[in-house]
Structure 1
Amino acid sequence: MMACGLLVVGQLYATIPLTPWIQQRYGLDAPSAALAGSAFGFAYAISFLVCGPLSDRFGRGRVILAGMVALSLATLLAGAAPSFPALLAARALQGTVAATLPPAAVSLVVETLPEKRRPLGIAAMAFSFLASAPVAQLSVASVAGMGVPLVMFAAAPLILAAAALLAIVLGRAALRRPLAVAIQHAPSPAREPLIVACWIAAPMLMFAFVAFQAGVQALGDTLPLGTAALRLLSVPALAAGFLAVPLARRIGALATATSGFALTASGLLLAAFGGAPALGLGAVLATAGVGIGVTGLIATISARSATARRGLAVAVYTFTLFMGASLAPPLAPALASGGLSVLCAVPALVAASGAAVLVAARARFA
């Protein structure tokens, strides 16, 4: 399932290293060429609200496998696109069907693993979703000069092969359709205050992280530490989500999520002091906080939602998380114009506000 997460969610980021090739191939400027990523991202975010509930109605395994087969075909269409509008349409189709995986995958892991193993499974899935960004970009960068067709034609059979292997692993039991009666009588996740609090806080965490990353890119050579070095430092820190497993056993999933928000805010404040050591350590702490926070949020939502509505609960969470990430890039240059201190302080305040939402919800409803 982790491999599927890397392959499927990685398609969102696959065209970032291909932007120069797209510019040259279609005679576009950089913002226009970047629409190849935006077309996927917008469709991906909106489709969560539809694809998540599908797994509640038709079964987790069915939706995951159907989505991966459809994504393989859409990826072939993207590779064969004869024009830029056709590429945008294919990328939007990719984003639509890719949204079938995250909500259904998290729900399936929670429902399949023994109770003691569930936190580890959630951490593993959260890591695969977050790590898909650097892994996909690093994988594509080495062949970016050969263009979109090669990348897409190579990815399509990998996705299909992963779907076939997953079908073998799941077996018949996981492919059964859920009972309609269970769905009809399951309470809505919107009635659970702690789930709603997670939905509200999630975009704050992702906004803080992506705004910092995008702002660092905008500041570039003015930083005391290079952007490439900051990326390399941040990638291993994503694995900190696995630390959420023992932490959740000690203090609970919601408190674990809150600690992740607090760690992200603290790391960003440290980075605001400037200087290579502070910036590097701050970036690592902020990234580690995201890994812990995301894992804690997913664990909280999964534990508190009814089985028959878990796909919907995770889908809304993923939608809000991604919306926070989408709002950050347009605002990051404005924050970067105020210098490193502003770039770090504002996202830190946003992350701290998310922590405050979780603390207040826990005090009132837990």
Structure 2
Amino acid sequence: MATPTIPAVTDAQVRSSSRELSPGAHTGRILPAFVLSALLATGQMYVPIPLFTAMRAEWQVSSGVMTWIISAFAFGYAGGFVLFGPLSDRYGHRKVLVTGMLVAAVVTLLTGLAMSAPMAVALRVVQGLVVGSIPPALMAYVATRVAPAHRAVVTMSVATSFLAATVVAQIVSQSLVASLPWRAVFLGSAMLFVVLAAALRAVMLDDAPTGRDRPLRHSYAAIPAVLRIRPLLPMLGAGALSVAVMVGVYTGIELVGIVHGSAELLTLRAGALPVMFALPLLAVPLGRLSKHGQIVLGVLIAAAAMVTATFEGAHLAVLTVLLAVLVGGLGIIAPAVLQSAGELGGESRAAASSVAMFSFYVGATVGPVVAAAAAPHGFSALAWTLAVLLLAALGLTLLGVRIQRAVTTAG
């Protein structure tokens, strides 16, 4: 999560949603499969965090090497969004989604069988790339095949699952490694990918792909143009830094060892779940603020939590609350950045959203590296470092406001 958000939907997908395909998707059938698929896909980034101790002991490597297990996946995951979003629109959401789940099962199994850390890191890049095909296809299907009356509920449920995967994956992984070898976690994930692939194939409607009449390059042509939207660039940077903090704090807590025992770790991780599930309820009141205002609010909340943690992080109960507050602040930032990307993108709104998703997971690759550098100096150093990243995100947001005003005035 990384702070997981709603993946981009291409313009062709939006257009096709206006002419609903018949028959409509059965909401009661697809919702459980989509929610579990979202949890499993995004959760793969966070699954290894509770396994660090066991993996490090087997491979005899440093903590810094282990953080690349997270960054490698995030790097591939970021590329997967940009690569497979247009492909799912061209070849069919059901085909790309089911194929992606099956290939993800194979790569996940191979990752669990890796005999060295370098091999695991390489496989994690491939795993992230393949798993990156899943969220765009899920959300594109929702936008085009789910009845309008049910679409908001399904969208919010799947989006919440992407966010909740940050913690749920760690809880499940921690519970399994307490009694099983760490490789069993990857084996179990591979089996779930196969089971869910079969379930998705059964509940999803047959594909009616669009866009095959145009060259594939047309699907990607708008992406470079997005990078020339000046007001958007600072916001993308702010979003990337916020996701870096999200991944960095969970990775850093594991590396620092400030929390002892599986029970305390479980409490710390589960404490953020209520906030994650409450965030969708705040969508309406937050909508009264501008997108820049939402980002500023989220950054200030998250930064306050991190600064406070530098003084009170040694107390489990306080740290649990502060981490929940941090997650709440970060959970406000990413959706606002994504929505801003869509608005500023104009006719290229789908490409802008894809680039925003890409920037989030570029940030996710940085988070573990920052945590590995700060962790040897203690938790306070980690918390201050992450707070500085959040202040940088605040500065970028304010810069984005100035650029937006200048562009509006010039126009």
**Alignment TM-score, normalising by the size of structure 1:** 0.78
Contact 1:209 1:347 in 2 (8 A): no
Aligned-pair CA distance for 1:221: 4.1
Q: Which residue of 2 aligns with 1:289?
A: 329
Residues 89, 200 of structure 1: alpha-carbon distance in 2 compared, 3 angstrom cutoff: closer
Q: Any idea what the Cα deviations from partners look like across 1:274-330, whole Å, max 9, x if unmatched?
A: 3747644432221101112222223333455568862x4344323322222322333
CA contact (8 A) 1:58 1:177 kept: yes
The equivalent of 1:28 in structure 2 is 60
CA contact (8 A) 2:98 2:201 kept: yes
Letter in 2 for 1:166: L
1:361 equivalent in alignment to 2:363: no
- The Cα shift of 1:263 comes to 2.0
SS class of match (1:17): helix
SS in 2 for 1:250: coil
What is the CA–CA distance in structure 2 between the aligned matches of 1:357 and 1:289, rounded to whole Å?
Answer: 16
Alignment correspondent of 2:300 = 262
Query: In 2, distance between residues paired with 1:129 and 1:155?
Result: 16
- Residue 321 (1) aligns with residue 345 (2): no
Instruction: Quote the sequence identity (%).
Output: 26
Of residues 100, 105, 108 in structure 2, which corresponds to 1:72? 105
Compute the RMSD of aligned alpha carbons.
3.9
Decide whether aligned partners of structure 1 residues 66 and 314 sit closer, same or farther in structure 2, where only a CA change above 3 A counts: farther
Paired positions, count: 361
Partner of 1:93: 126
Task: Write the distance in 1 (CA, Å) between the matches of 2:251 and 2:193.
Answer: 29
2:274 is aligned with 1:247: no
Change in 2 beyond 3 A, CA 1:167/1:177: farther
Q: Deviations over 1:210-229 (max 9, x none)?
A: 34444444554499xx6654
Deviation of 1:100 after TM superposition, in Å, equals 1.1
Q: Identify unmatched segments of 5+ residues in structure 2.
A: 1-33
Using a 3 Å threshold, how does the CA distance of structure 1 residues 314 and 148 change in structure 2: closer, same or farther?
Answer: farther
Q: Secondary structure at the match of 2:271?
A: helix
* 1:271 and 2:309 matched: yes
Q: Distance in 2 between matches of 1:307 and 1:112?
A: 22
TM-aligned CA distance change 1:204 to 1:54, over 3 Å? same
Q: Distance in 2 between matches of 1:23 and 1:322?
A: 24
Q: Given the superposition, is the C-alpha separation of residues 148 and 207 from structure 1 closer, same or farther in structure 2, using an over 3 Å criterion?
A: closer
Deviations 1:173-229 (A, max 9, x none): 5x5233555984985433544543432221111223334444444554499xx6654
Letter in 2 for 1:332: A
Distance 1:124 1:222, change over 3 A: closer
AA aligned opposite 2:73: F
Where 1:296 maps in the other structure, the secondary structure is helix
Separation (CA, whole Å) in 2 of partners of 1:219 and 1:326:
19
Once the two structures are superposed, what CA deviation does each residue of 1:212-261 show, in whole Å capped at 9, x if it has no partner?
A: 444444554499xx665433322332234313421354335554344322
Partner of 1:137: 170
> TM-score, length-normalised on structure 2?
0.70
Deviation at 1:97, TM superposition (A): 0.6
> Which 10-residue stretch deviates more, 161-170 or 335-344?
335-344
Counterpart amino acid of residue 331 in structure 1: V
Distance 2:55 2:259 in 1: 28
Q: Which residue in the other structure is 2:194 paired with?
A: 160
- In structure 1, stretches of 5+ residues that fail to align are none
